[in-house]
C-alpha cells in the first residue's frame, strides 16, 4: 500500500480519474436509457461503442490522416474531430437502431420473458464483437495522434492538459444536452411517459416503438462520442475494446442509480476516481478490482444506487 504516492499525486490521479470517468459516463447513458424504459440490460451496448471507435478510425483514414501524418493544425484538428464525432455517432446510433429492430422488437411483440431478452443481448454482443474480430484479424489498430497533450493549467502541482480539459468539456456538454432533451422537449416527454406507464402512454397517442427506437439511437450516439474521446485519449482500438469499458460503464450506471441520467454521470465520474485512487494506493494491477469492490460496498448501503431515481419516477 503506497499512501505516500497517493497523497503526493492526488491531484494528478483526480484529473486522470475524472477524464476516464467522463468516458464511462457517456457509455453508461446508453445502459441507463434502455433500462429506464424497458428494464432491459443491453449488454450489446459495449459493441455499439466499439463500432464507434472503428468509425472514427475509418473517417480519419479516408481523410488521409494516418499514423505517419504529422501534427495537424488547429483547424485540421477541429475538422477531423468533428468528422470523427459525426461518423461515430451515426455508426453507433445506426448499430443500436438495427439491434433494437432486429433483436429486441420481435421479442417484445411475442411477449418473451426477460431471460430471453438477456440471452439475446449477450448473444448479440458476442456476434458483433466476433464479426469485428474476423474483419480486423483480431489485431489492434493504432490511431494517429490528433491532439498532443500540452499542460494548460497547474493547480496545486497537478498538471491539467488540453486533452483532459477537452474530453471533460465535450463529455459534460453531451450529457447536459441529453438531459435537456429528455426533460425539456416533447420527444423527451414521450420517453418519460413510456418509462412511467407504457399502456397509458399508448392510449394517449404515444408511439411506444418509436420512443424505444429513439432511446436506442440516443444511447448509441452518446457511445459514439465516447468512442472518439477514447480514441484520442488511448490511441488504439480493437474488436473487444468495449468489453471491460462496457462492464465499468454498466457498473457506473448501477452505482449512480440505473435509469437515472444524472446518476450515470455521477457513477461514471466516481468509478473513474476510485479506480485511479486504487491504482495509486495498491498498484495498477488492482485498478479494476478496487473499482468493483467499491461498487459492491456502496450498493450494500444504497441498493438502488446513489441517486436512486429512474426515468419512471420522473414527471411526464
**CA separation for the pair 80, 101 (Å, rounded):** 31
Higher pLDDT, 311 or 4: 4
The pLDDT of residue 316: 42
pTM: 0.92
Which candidate, 234, 226, 300, 232, places its Cα nearest to that of 268? 226
Query: Which pLDDT value is given to residue 299?
Result: 81
> Angle, nearest 10°, between helix axes 242-256 and 45-62?
130
The predicted pLDDT at position 3 comes to 78
Summarised one tens digit per residue, pLDDT across range 202-241 is 888 888 899 999 999 999 999 999 999 999 999 899 999 9
In which element (H, E) is residue 40 found?
none
Q: Greater confidence, 84 or 297?
A: 84
How high is the pLDDT of residue 313? 53
Cβ atoms within 10 Å, residue 208:
16
* 274: number of Cβ within 10 Å: 22
User: For residues 93 and 219, what is the distance between their CA atoms, to the nearest angstrom?
Assistant: 7
CA–CA gap between residue 233 and residue 19 (Å, rounded): 9
Structure confidence at residue 310 (pLDDT) = 62
Average pLDDT for residues 128-152, to the nearest whole number?
A: 91
Phi first, then psi, for residue 207 (nearest 5°) are: -80, 105
pLDDT at 315 (0 to 100)? 45
Amino acid at each position: 500500500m503506497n499512501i505516500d504516492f497517493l497523497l503526493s499525486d492526488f491531484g494528478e490521479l483526480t484529473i486522470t480519474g475524472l477524464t476516464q470517468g467522463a468516458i464511462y459516463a457517456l457509455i453508461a447513458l446508453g445502459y441507463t436509457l434502455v433500462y429506464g424504459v424497458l428494464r432491459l440490460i443491453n449488454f450489446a451496448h459495449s459493441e455499439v461503442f466499439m463500432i464507434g471507435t472503428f468509425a472514427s478510425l475509418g473517417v480519419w483514414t479516408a481523410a488521409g490522416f494516418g499514423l505517419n501524418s504529422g501534427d495537424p493544425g488547429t483547424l485540421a484538428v477541429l475538422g477531423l474531430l468533428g468528422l470523427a464525432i459525426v461518423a461515430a455517432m451515426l455508426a453507433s446510433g445506426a448499430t443500436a437502431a438495427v439491434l433494437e429492430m432486429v433483436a429486441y422488437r420481435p421479442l417484445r411483440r411475442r411477449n418473451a420473458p426477460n431471460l430471453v431478452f438477456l440471452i439475446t443481448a449477450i448473444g448479440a454482443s458476442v456476434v458483433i464483437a466476433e464479426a469485428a474480430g474476423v474483419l480486423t484479424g483480431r489485431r489492434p489498430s493504432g490511431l494517429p495522434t490528433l491532439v498532443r497533450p500540452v499542460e494548460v493549467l497547474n493547480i496545486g502541482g497537478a498538471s491539467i492538459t488540453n486533452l483532459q480539459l477537452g474530453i471533460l468539456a465535450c463529455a459534460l456538454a453531451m450529457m447536459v444536452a441529453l438531459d435537456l432533451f429528455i426533460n425539456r422537449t416533447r420527444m423527451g416527454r414521450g420517453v418519460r411517459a413510456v418509462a412511467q406507464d407504457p399502456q397509458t402512454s399508448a392510449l394517449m397517442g404515444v408511439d411506444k416503438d418509436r420512443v424505444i427506437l429513439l432511446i436506442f439511437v440516443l444511447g448509441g450516439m452518446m457511445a459514439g462520442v465516447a468512442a472518439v474521446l477514447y480514441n484520442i485519449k488511448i490511441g488504439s482500438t480493437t474488436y473487444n475494446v468495449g468489453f471491460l469499458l462496457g462492464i465499468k460503464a454498466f457498473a457506473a450506471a448501477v452505482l449512480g442509480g440505473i435509469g437515472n441520467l444524472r446518476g450515470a454521470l455521477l457513477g461514471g465520474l466516481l468509478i473513474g476516481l476510485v479506480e485511479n485512487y486504487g491504482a495509486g494506493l495498491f498498484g495498477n494491477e488492482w485498478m479494476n478490482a478496487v473499482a468493483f469492490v467499491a461498487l459492491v460496498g456502496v450498493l450494500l448501503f444504497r441498493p438502488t444506487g446513489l441517486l436512486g431515481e429512474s426515468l419512471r419516477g420522473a414527471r411526464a
